[in-house]
């Protein structure tokens, strides 16, 4: 009778472990590189923009399944006439391994000052890129 009880407990334990294992998902997704550019092709890496520029941020997403999310949060850190650390815009993409491009434009001139874009990978801050408008 004791042997039967052992096998029942072991079977139940294996069932629980199998269920937990099915719900666990570890992603190997990572951002290999991230940079800013003043051009849509990303070839010209910059940390300073003109007031009439379009801001481009690039993230090289590697080892990523197709349901990986990247989010860019654009922040005016210390900018003339704007509250400190004001979130200007947020954009989110779902993708697999690829170079992801975020951009931000303004119908007017950008105020002079310090800015930042934070790039989140699956909801966690992964890269921070600081830049200026002069």
pTM, to two decimals: 0.79
Query: What is the rounded average pLDDT of the residues 47-69?
Result: 97
For 1-15, write each residue's pLDDT tens digit.
566 766 665 555 555
CA-to-CA distance for 109 and 97, rounded, in angstroms?
34
For 63-86, write each residue's pLDDT tens digit.
999 999 999 999 999 999 999 999
CA-to-CA distance for 116 and 79, rounded, in angstroms?
11
In 61-89, which positions are buried (b, 16+ CB within 10 angstroms) versus exposed (e)? bbebeeebebbbbbbbeebeeeeeeeebe
What integer pLDDT is reported at residue 84 of this predicted model?
97
What integer pLDDT is reported at residue 83 of this predicted model?
96
CA-to-CA distance for 90 and 82, rounded, in angstroms?
17
List the beta bridge partners of residue 91.
Answer: 72
Mean pLDDT of the chain: 89
Longest dimension (CA), the chain: 82
Residue with tokens 């937990």: 20
Assess whether pLDDT exceeds 90 at residue 20: no
What integer pLDDT is reported at residue 10 of this predicted model?
53
What is the fold, at CATH topology level, of the domain defined by 28-133?
A: Immunoglobulin-like (2.60.40)
What integer pLDDT is reported at residue 27 of this predicted model?
75
Cβ atoms within 10 A of the Cβ of 111, count? 14
For 88-121, write each residue's pLDDT tens digit.
999 999 999 999 999 999 999 999 999 999 999 9
Does residue 112 contact residue 134 with C-beta atoms inside 8 Å?
A: yes
Structural domain boundaries in the chain: 28-133
């Amino acid at each position: 009778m004791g042997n039967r009880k052992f096998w029942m407990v072991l079977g139940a334990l294996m069932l629980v472990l199998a269920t937990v294992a099915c719900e666990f998902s570890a992603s190997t997704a990572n951002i290999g590189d991230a940079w800013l550019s003043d051009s849509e092709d990303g070839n010209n890496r910059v940390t300073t923009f003109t007031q009439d520029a379009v801001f481009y941020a690039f993230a090289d997403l590697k080892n990523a399944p197709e349901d990986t999310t990247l989010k860019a949060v654009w922040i005016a850190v210390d900018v003339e006439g704007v509250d400190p650390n004001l979130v200007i815009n947020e954009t989110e993409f779902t993708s697999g391994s690829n170079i992801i491009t975020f951009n931000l434009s303004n119908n007017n001139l950008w105020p002079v000052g310090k800015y930042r874009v934070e790039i989140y990978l699956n909801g966690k801050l992964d890269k921070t890129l600081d830049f200026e408008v002069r």
